[in-house]
């Protein structure tokens, strides 16, 4: 039982193998056990959520597993006395570890689930989000299903022909991007789709280009309705069996079977929801994200990575093309564009003018329609007229209403601008019973608040709730079919013909021939949400709804036409708005211009984590606030606080490293309770 003498340079772990007096371990109990002749050491990552165990461990590969245990395979190892899962990162001739090595217990399944590319990606995602490798693997690799693994393997599909680039010719740099992808070049683009664009078709063409160039492709969309549309567009263009759709709701067996087909290289094109960005596509040539501002692209499980960030990392690591697409643009996409890291694929003003609906603002209560029916429905006169005209022309009308249940916060009583903290720009709210307005981010009391826009000093509570809207509209337009798409009854499509379609943002059905008009109600409430991204998010929702309206149709937005988001919608200039948004965030040092970390836990635990952290010099602690927990107040729930840390962009990696290291110290000491660490949280309410 010795190492191959040809193996350089030494094998310290083997030196002390064999029976030792007075000890009895598993390895000793199998004295006949021999290590693999070549590369007898397997470097593994163990499947443990503990941050201090988030590093490689070395094991000996038993001779009988020499072929089965390869880089990327799942194995079972005895770790601290227990059998746990692990992933093989590498096979090596020797180990750096100067203690005794244990043998791997067994292999799990025949398929190496990690590729060199995805293993590297998972490590980088973990590092960026102060999380562990194991947590990322659990997000990225579906649970193993033995039956799916045993099933017959599909034949690799034929390569498709090159796409017709004419759909992209309306966009400057569009055809150039497509041909770069077809040549396998790592082009990176931000695509702002024109209103009315058949974007699933365009994305399918981009996939087709990558496949025609001999490389694979991934398209990530926010939800299953979008998934179905892209799936259909791909099916129309690609040879049968050359793409799969991946989504969590498929069920474990189907999901794993499709994922395996991708892993084996039998399928090279993937469309899916957020975790599809991790799909092990061989020789990946393109990652495309549709509507990267949608918060469904934020993973809700630790370490909470954003699909866009993962895609950006993948583009860099795998040298593949990247397409960030949407009707609107995020500040993050604008930053990549401003850094010249990505190039804009946009239409010129003439094309926008031709395809955009007419957009008008009706932000004033005084403009409410005189028709009493319209008044109960809170419809401005403009909106009422636009809807009447569309219905009269036999077209459906889309009515977008905010979801119920936004937290009541504070706004200027005069001009309704959200009240923000003079110190950190966080939202002001009344904690509990009416007291002094207090910042929900930094906790400072705003005693001398004054509206920066109009100088007003009085505040009012902003409360939103619009489930009555459909009912009220029904009365405003008697005899017209009324459909609602919200919550758990989301419609994918509505037929042509007059109808009033009430939908919450993100649930707007597509109309076969387009809507004749759209009414975007309660816009001031959307804009008044207590969130850093409220304006950007509002514009995104408006653009997504307005894009469903026919060219020449009318969109009425119920908000103050003086607001920048409203102006951007009227001019259909989401790019300009995103740049402005980015400049604002730059001034505040918030993401994406700076980086934030939110630490949530008991006050003692958060304090302990902070004490153990060697934060970068530029780090600022913005303060701590109590976290309002969902559900009825209960004495059994421990008190929770959230502390925000802010660093300049360049210190982002150092911040994540410091927090991960501090979490490792705490978990090794087994001290205290959990602290949730979220980097660049999207919701900052």
Closer to DNA by CB, 513 or 668: give it: 668
Beta strands in 123-231 (DSSP E): 188-192, 216-220
CB 669 to DNA: min, Å: 6
Closer to DNA by CB, 100 or 642: give it: 100
Structure tokens at 407: 């937290």
Structure tokens at 1: 């039982």
Closer to DNA by CB, 100 or 440: give it: 100
CB 303 to DNA: min, Å: 20
Closer to DNA by CB, 8 or 99: give it: 99
CB 58 to DNA: min, Å: 3
Closer to DNA by CB, 79 or 177: give it: 79
Residues that bind DNA (CB under 7 A): 23, 25, 50, 52-53, 57-60, 77-82, 95, 97, 99-102, 668-670
Are 609 and 601 in contact, with CB atoms under 8 Å apart?
yes
Count of CB atoms within 10 A of residue 353's CB? 11
Closer to DNA by CB, 95 or 118: give it: 95
Closer to DNA by CB, 77 or 362: give it: 77
SS3 44: strand
**654/127 Cα distance (integer angstroms):** 10
CA angle 58, 49, 104 (to 5 degrees): 25
Closer to DNA by CB, 82 or 635: give it: 82
CB 271 to DNA: min, Å: 40
CB 34 to DNA: min, Å: 16
Of 344, 233, 231, 249, nearest in space to 296 by CA:
249
Count of CB atoms within 10 A of residue 100's CB? 18
CB 519 to DNA: min, Å: 59
**323/329 Cα distance (integer angstroms):** 12
Helices and strands in the chain, H and E counts: 21, 28
Q: Is 214 left (phi over 0), alpha (psi -120 to 50) or beta?
A: left
CB 41 to DNA: min, Å: 9
Count of CB atoms within 10 A of residue 547's CB? 26
CB 139 to DNA: min, Å: 23
**137/225 Cα distance (integer angstroms):** 26
Closer to DNA by CB, 95 or 438: give it: 95
DSSP H or E segment with residue 451: none
DSSP H or E segment with residue 625: strand 620-626
Are 527 and 331 in contact, with CB atoms under 8 Å apart?
no
CB 116 to DNA: min, Å: 21
Closer to DNA by CB, 42 or 597: give it: 42
Antiparallel, parallel or unpaired: β 493-494 and 510-511: parallel
CB 205 to DNA: min, Å: 49
**355/340 Cα distance (integer angstroms):** 28
DSSP H or E segment with residue 25: none
Which residues have a Cβ under 8 Å from the Cβ of 478 and sit 6 or more positions away? none
DSSP H or E segment with residue 427: none
């Amino acid at each position: 039982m010795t190492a191959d003498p040809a193996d350089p340079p030494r094998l310290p772990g083997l030196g002390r193998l064999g029976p030792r007096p007075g000890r009895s371990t598993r390895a000793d109990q199998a004295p006949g056990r021999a290590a693999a002749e070549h590369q007898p050491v397997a470097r593994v990552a163990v499947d443990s959520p503990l941050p201090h165990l988030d590093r490689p461990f070395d094991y000996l590969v038993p001779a009988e597993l020499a072929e089965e245990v390869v880089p990327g395979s799942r194995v079972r190892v005895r770790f601290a006395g227990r059998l746990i899962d692990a992933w093989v990162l590498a096979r090596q001739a020797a180990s750096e570890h100067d203690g005794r090595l244990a043998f791997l217990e067994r292999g799990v399944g025949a398929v190496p689930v990690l590729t060199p590319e995805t293993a590297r990606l998972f490590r980088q995602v973990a590092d960026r989000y102060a999380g562990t490798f194991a947590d990322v693997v659990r997000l990225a690799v579906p649970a193993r299903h033995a039956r799916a693994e045993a099933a017959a393997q599909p034949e690799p599909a034929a390569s498709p022909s090159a796409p017709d680039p004419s759909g992209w010719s309306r966009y400057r740099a569009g055809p150039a991007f497509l041909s770069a992808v077809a040549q396998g070049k790592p082009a990176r683009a931000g695509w702002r789709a024109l209103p009315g664009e058949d974007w699933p078709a365009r994305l399918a063409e981009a996939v087709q280009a990558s496949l025609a160039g001999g490389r694979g492709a991934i398209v990530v969309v926010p939800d299953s309705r979008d998934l179905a549309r892209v799936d259909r567009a791909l099916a129309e263009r690609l040879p049968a069996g050359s793409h799969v759709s991946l989504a969590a709701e498929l069920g474990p067996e189907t999901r794993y079977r499709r994922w395996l087909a991708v892993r084996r290289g039998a399928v090279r094109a993937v469309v899916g929801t957020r975790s599809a960005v991790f799909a092990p596509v061989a020789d990946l040539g393109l990652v495309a994200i549709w509507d990267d501002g949608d918060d469904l692209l934020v993973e809700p499980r630790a370490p909470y990575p954003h699909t866009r960030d993962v895609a950006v990392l993948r583009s860099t690591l795998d040298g593949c093309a990247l397409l960030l697409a949407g009707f609107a643009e995020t500040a993050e996409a604008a930053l990549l564009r401003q850094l010249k890291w990505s190039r804009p694929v946009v239409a010129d003003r003439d094309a926008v003018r031709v395809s955009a609906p007419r957009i008008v603002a009706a932000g004033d209560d005084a403009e409410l329609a005189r028709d009493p029916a319209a008044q109960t429905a809170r419809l401005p006169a403009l909106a009422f007229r636009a809807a009447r005209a569309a219905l009269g022309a036999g077209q459906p009308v889309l009515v977008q209403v905010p979801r119920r249940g936004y937290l009541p916060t504070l706004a200027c009583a005069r001009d309704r601008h959200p009240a923000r903290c003079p110190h950190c720009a966080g939202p002001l709210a009344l904690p509990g019973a009416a007291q002094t307005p207090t910042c929900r981010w930094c906790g400072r009391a705003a005693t001398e608040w004054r509206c920066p826009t109009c100088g007003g000093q009085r505040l009012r509570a902003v409360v939103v709730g619009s489930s009555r809207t459909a009912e009220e509209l029904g009365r405003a337009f008697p005899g017209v079919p009324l459909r609602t798409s919200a919550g758990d009854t989301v419609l994918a499509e509505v037929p042509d013909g007059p109808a009033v379609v009430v939908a919450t943002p993100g649930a707007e059905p597509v109309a076969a021939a387009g809507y004749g008009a759209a009414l975007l109600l309660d816009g001031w409430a959307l804009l008044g949400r207590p969130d850093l991204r409220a304006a950007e998010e509002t514009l995104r929702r408006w653009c997504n709804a307005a894009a469903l309206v026919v060219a020449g149709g009318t969109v009425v937005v119920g908000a103050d036409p003086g607001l920048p988001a409203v102006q951007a919608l009227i001019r259909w200039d989401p790019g300009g708005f995103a740049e402005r948004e980015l400049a604002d965030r730059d001034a505040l040092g918030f993401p994406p211009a700076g980086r934030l970390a939110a630490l949530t836990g008991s006050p003692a635990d958060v304090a302990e984590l902070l004490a153990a952290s060697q934060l970068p010099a530029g780090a600022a602690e913005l303060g701590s606030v109590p976290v309002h927990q969902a559900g009825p107040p209960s004495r059994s729930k421990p008190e929770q606080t959230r502390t925000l840390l802010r660093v300049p962009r360049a210190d982002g990696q150092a911040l994540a490293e410091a927090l991960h290291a501090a979490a490792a110290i705490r978990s090794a000491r087994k001290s205290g309770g959990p602290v949730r660490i979220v980097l660049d949280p999207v919701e900052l309410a």
